[in-house]
Structure 1
Amino acid sequence: MAKDTDELPRRFVRTKEAAHFVGLCARTMEKHRTYGTGPRYCKVGGRILYDIEDLREWIATSRRSSTSDTDTTDIPPAKPHAARAPAYVGRPRER
């Protein structure tokens, strides 16, 4: 059995499981996907799949050690105006 996680196959989950993993509801994940404020995802046929590592990276972008930390980014709310806010306009999407 492999002890190094690099040798294991990548794990993908659907929206419901991804939402549970990050502590949100599935509808909120759908909204984040629609507004471009959520984690990266893949579309295979009609299914939306999230890589567990992408979910971890998305959450890690807002990791803080203090309320005064300024070197992190906030995950915006899943609302249309948040996607158009100046901090997120023109933000390159990684694919």
Structure 2
Amino acid sequence: MSRSPELSRHPQPIDLDAPLHRKAGPTAHALRPVERASEALTPQACPAPCYLTNNEAAAFLRLSPRTLEKQRVIGGGPRFRKFGRRVMYALTDLEAWAGERSFETTFDPEYLDRHPGAQHDEQ
């Protein structure tokens, strides 16, 4: 009779925060760290069109997922795609949207055009 190899009595611990074990849905807290979104979602890591979920896109932009949801309804947010019921954001669209919002100063004419509340009344 052959002996089976002895199995370790202490298996490696399970990381319940790993994406494999994380529950889907709006259970993640806004202030909870995300799975190294800045490292994992670089353009070099996504050779072809790389699509992110709402939560991943929010983590990439450091926004609340709810902010992106509101911007999809109201407008003004990054371009998104619908695959059935799933909403996805292309990484290139997120980078382009963020790039459109870069300004030198608050007195930049482009900034004043986009933010009419920033203009001061000259009396």
Q: Normalised by the shorter chain, which TM-score bucket?
A: 0.5 to 0.7
Relative to structure 1, the CA distance from residue 15 to residue 37 in structure 2 (aligned partners, 3 Å threshold; closer, same or farther) is same
Report 1:17-56 matches (<5 A).
17-56=56-95
1:56 corresponds to which letter in structure 2?
Answer: E
Larger RCO (alpha carbons 8 Å, 6+ apart)? 1
* TM-score under structure 1 length normalisation: 0.65
Output the CA distance in 2 between the equivalents of 1:64 and 1:30: 25
Structure 2: state its 5+ residue gaps: 1-43, 116-123
Runs of 4+ with >3 A deviation? 72-75
* Residue in structure 2 matched with residue 68 of structure 1 by the alignment: 107
Offset of residue 58 of structure 1:
0.9
Kept in 2: contact 1:62–1:74 (CA 8 A): no
Task: State the Cα RMSD in Å.
Answer: 2.1
Indicate the structure (1 or 2) with the bigger Cα radius of gyration.
2
Output the CA distance in 2 between the equivalents of 1:9 and 1:49: 15
Instruction: Report how many aligned residue pairs link the two structures.
Output: 70
Structure 1: state its 5+ residue gaps: 76-95
Identity over the aligned pairs, expressed in percent?
A: 33
